[in-house]
Structures are given as C-alpha cells and as structure tokens.
Amino acid sequence: MSDKPREYCGIFGIADHPEAALLSYYGLHSLQHRGQESAGIVTSFYDEEKKKQVMPSYKDFGLVLSVFDKPKIFKKILKGRSAIGHNRYSTSGSSKNPANIQPFRVHYRSGNIAIGHNGNLSNAKQIRESFTKEGVLFQSTSDTELILHLIAQSKKEKQLDQILDALGQIEGAFCLVILTDDALIAVRDPNGFRPLALGRIDGSYCVASETCAFDIIGAEYVRDIEAGEVLVIPHNVAEQGLSEDQLLSFNIPPKTGTTTSQCIFEYVYFSRPDSMIFGEMVDKIRRNLGKALAKEHPINEVIHKKTGTKPVIISVPDSSNTAAIGYASENQKMGHDCKYDIGLIRNHYVGRTFISPGQKSREQKVRTKFNPVKGVIEGRSVIIVDDSIVRGTTSQYLVNMIRECNPAEIHFLVSSPPIISPCYYGMDFPSPEELIANQFNGDIVAIAKEIGVDSLRYLSPNGLVEAVKEANPSPNDYCTACFTSKYPVPVNFGVDKEENELV
Ligand code: SF4
C-alpha cells in the first residue's frame, strides 16, 4: 500500500546451535520489513536412519508468523544445528511462482547446497542467456538460481572452490547465506551494496542483514561481513571452539574499478533504526540527516505565517521519526523556536484492504494506515518531515488529511534528495516516469503544488552524503544512483519479470 520502494529480501544464517531453526525464525521475524511475501528456512543435519547428510526445507507465501505457525515445523521438520532463512518481497508477476520462494535447495554431485540471496545481479541477463543456449532449464525467474547453476557447472573439484568460482562470475548486489553439508557460508559482494553482519551466540555464529535480528535472539554483534568477503563457518564451529579469526575468510577478486558502494537508501529509509548497518547505527545516521536538513533549510526560512504558537514539526511514522527529531533539535540549537510532536498516528494492523482500484480506494488505504491528531495541528504552522517521496501519492493524501485539521500552513521537508532513477541493486522502485520528481522535470514548486503543500524542500545530494559520512566516518563509499543516476556498476538488465514464468 505504501508507495515507498521495497527491498527484495532479508537473510539470516546460524551455525552450530541446538535451536538453529527457531533462532532463524526469530531472526526472520525481526527482518520482516525487508520482505513480506514469502519466508523460508533450510536446515542441515546428518540423518542416522538414512545414513546421509540431509537438508530439510520449509517455506511458503506469507509473513514469517503465518508461514511458521506450528511447533511441529521446528520439532519434526527443521531439525539440525545449522540453518539459513530468507524473507522475500517480489514484484507481482513473479510472486505467483512458488519456485521463487527462497532459500533454494538442490542436490548435485558435490552434495546438498542451499542459498538465500539479498540483492540483484547486474549481469543476470548475460548469464541466463549463456545458460539458455546450453539448454539449461530454469525452475524460477530468480537471479539466485543462476548462482546455483554456476556452482554446479564449475569444473573445480572441491565444493568451496566451485562456490568461489561462481562468485567470481557474478556482478552487482549480492549478500548470500549458503548452507552446504559442511558449513554456513556468508558472502557480501565486492561493492558491499547490501548490509550483512556477523554475530555470536553461545559459541555459535550467526549472520543477518541487520543487527536487529541479533538483538531478538540475544546474540552479540561481532563485525560486518566485509565487502567482497566469503566467510566459512563450519557446522561444528561451537564444538571446535573456533574464534572469529580462526574462521576461513576469502576475498572475491574485485572487478576493475570496483570500489565500495554501500546503499545509502538503507540509511535513509529501509533499515530499522535500531539496527547497526555498514558499521553504524541507523538511528544515529537518520538523526544526522534531520540535522543536515535543518542546516540547509532552517525553520525560520521555511514558515511564512505568524500564529502565536510554536511551529510544530511532525514526522510520517515510523521511518522518518528520527530525522524529524534531528530536524527539531538542530533548529532549537540554532535558536529557532519550534517543537516536535506526534501529529500522525500509524495503525500497524493494516493487512489486505478489500477495496477496488481507483483514486478513492488509494486514499482509503492511506486513511487506513494514518490518522492526523487534530489538537497538534489545528491553527499551527506545520512542518512535515518525511524520509523520501517516490510517486507522491501517499504524500498527497496525507497532506489532504492534515489540511482537514485546519493548520495555518503546511510545509513538507524531505531528508533525502529527489528520487530520479530506479535501483538495479536489490530495491524495487517504480519506473522513472512514475517518479514524481521526473513527472515535473525536477520543478520543486510544481511538485509542491501537486502534493498540496505551501512549500517543499529536499536535502541536497551533497548534504546527504556529507551527513552520512559525518555520522559514520568509515572509508567505505556509498551508492547514490537513485538520487544521482550515477550507477556504480553497469547494469545489464536481468530477466524480464514475466519471462520464464511458470503458469
Ligand atoms: Fe541504494 Fe539507490 Fe543505490 Fe539502489 S540505487 S543501491 S536504492 S542508493
């Protein structure tokens, strides 16, 4: 219902813990915001009856809570001390295909292997075409299946070498959790587009897209999986008592010109504020974006009317709460009288809305999710802080609702620059012509008119990068392509969404 971009996936993995599947379930639950259409867990153990290593899997469409809704799934099916899990969001066409639900699991000449992927391969089309010429049959429309084919077709003898061989051939954004009969393997692409962290619990190791997955299970954050790193965590890591620096770690050879390009949008909107990603807390960065917004657009330059009451700053909950607090506190620090208040209430229990297409129904969806607090808004100069504007439809309906509360004026401030280009590295954006900044050729005054506000202001692209680097002074760099059209890795568009679809 939201017109925000959506992430494709959240991943989790754990090695050598007696409750591997259950902890994966909790981890996935805390990563639910990274994918809501399907969820799955694969475990690994030696089956005494069958006298071989097995990899049971359980996955389905739906939220984590509804997919894993029976205790017997954990007791009878997902046995074993190592597991990987995956939450998936997909676009409408491919979401109908159950073969796209991850983790994928296959058996081939070197044993069992399962994989969960967060990201998008930028050379997927080339790889798919070359496999298609060789007569390879695909089960899914997912880039991830290509990685399994590359592993299975590698001429290398050892499984780990096959995996490293495959990883050297793929490009773009890929954070992976791979489960083999011997180990959990965590992988982050050389550009480090998506976050992936290493945690520790009871002598076992776990990996997750965001550290909020560690907090929920009581694991401690150890470090990030480095850009280009392949970390091998054996299934008996706790039994062997291995320390983190005793784990095997490899580097995927970087392609010429590859530098780190971590997704800056993870900080702006996508990751949870209570997570640490790319080595810094999201909350801290988002607060700094609000402060940078205040320095570029102090409130005394924004408001026009004298109302006799303090101007009120409200956020669009939940993702812009921290930026709005940062904006208010920096203004107060600069001596501008204002206050932060809760002017919009979000209903968290929004499931399916049974309404027909059309403008009225879209408006109803926004009303179902948000409701303004009249006492906070009436008669005041209202500054709405949001983290981003994509199509602009939600912003428009929100502003309509706020206007009904009779504010003196409404100004809209955005803690990121206008979005002008789609993402090809694992975030689902609408097409360029659907982006409101493109519809009005970047004319901010025209966009403000369309949304229905007295004025609209964005954080500048430089302001965004500087604010992030100020709060996280690591040498790693960021991708800003959706704001600047400067793509750090050339994109060879992947399979068309409906192509190769099972019916
Ligand atoms: Fe992130 Fe935008 Fe780059 Fe995609 S294009 S990786 S959303 S910064």
What does the pLDDT read at residue 359? 64
Please tell me the distance between residue 87's alpha carbon and the centre of ligand 1 in angstroms: 19
Query: Is any atom of ligand 1 closer than 6 Å to the C-beta of 269?
Result: no
Q: Which two tokens stand for residue 95?
A: 């979401």
What is the rounded radius of gyration, in angstroms, for the C-alpha atoms of the chain? Answer: 24
User: Please, which pLDDT band fits residue 500 given cuts at 50, 70 and 90?
Assistant: very low
User: Please, which pLDDT band fits residue 7 given cuts at 50, 70 and 90?
Assistant: low
Bigger pLDDT: 137 or 240? Answer: 240
What does the pLDDT read at residue 354? 56
Please tell me the distance between residue 312's alpha carbon and the centre of ligand 1 in angstroms: 32
Query: Is any atom of ligand 1 closer than 6 Å to the C-beta of 174?
Result: no
Q: How far is CA 497 from CA 93, 298, 323, 431, in A?
A: 6, 44, 35, 13
Most confident of 57-71, 127-141, 423-437: 57-71
Query: Is any atom of ligand 1 closer than 6 Å to the C-beta of 118?
Result: no
For the ranges 68-77, 137-146, 442-451, the lowest mean pLDDT is seen at 137-146
For the ranges 44-53, 121-130, 187-196, 333-342, the lowest mean pLDDT is seen at 121-130
Q: What is the mean pLDDT of the chain?
A: 91
Please tell me the distance between residue 5's alpha carbon and the centre of ligand 1 in angstroms: 10
DSSP H stretches of helix in 318-439: 321-333, 359-369, 374-377, 393-403, 436-439
Of 15, 53, 19, 12, nearest in space to 233 by CA: 15
Query: Is any atom of ligand 1 closer than 6 Å to the C-beta of 263?
Result: yes
* Ligand 1 atom with minimal separation from the 421 CA: 5
> Whole-prediction pTM value?
0.93
Q: What tens digit of pLDDT does each residue of 246-265 get?
A: 999 999 977 766 789 999 99
* Residue of 423, 459, 491 to mutate, ligand 1, most atoms within 8 A of C-beta: 423
Q: What tens digit of pLDDT does each residue of 343-379 get?
A: 999 998 775 545 555 666 778 888 889 999 999 999 9
Angle between helices 124-133 and 143-153 (to 10 degrees): 50
What does the pLDDT read at residue 349? 79
What does the pLDDT read at residue 492? 65
Of 338, 403, 344, 408, nearest in space to 379 by CA: 408
- % of the chain exceeding 90 in pLDDT: 79
Instruction: Give the separation between CA 233 and CA 205, rounded to whole angstroms.
Output: 7
User: Please, which pLDDT band fits residue 298 given cuts at 50, 70 and 90?
Assistant: very high
Q: What tens digit of pLDDT does each residue of 145-184 get?
A: 999 999 999 999 999 999 999 999 999 999 999 999 999 9
Instruction: Give the separation between CA 90 and CA 112, rounded to whole angstroms.
Output: 26
Please tell me the distance between residue 156's alpha carbon and the centre of ligand 1 in angstroms: 34
- % of the chain exceeding 70 in pLDDT: 92
For the ranges 168-172, 400-404, 466-470, 490-494, the lowest mean pLDDT is seen at 490-494
Three-state DSSP at 229 gives: strand
Query: Is any atom of ligand 1 closer than 6 Å to the C-beta of 193?
Result: yes
What does the pLDDT read at residue 439? 95
Query: Is any atom of ligand 1 closer than 6 Å to the C-beta of 282?
Result: no
Q: Whose CA is nearest to atom 1 of ligand 1?
A: 263
- 341 residue type, one letter: D
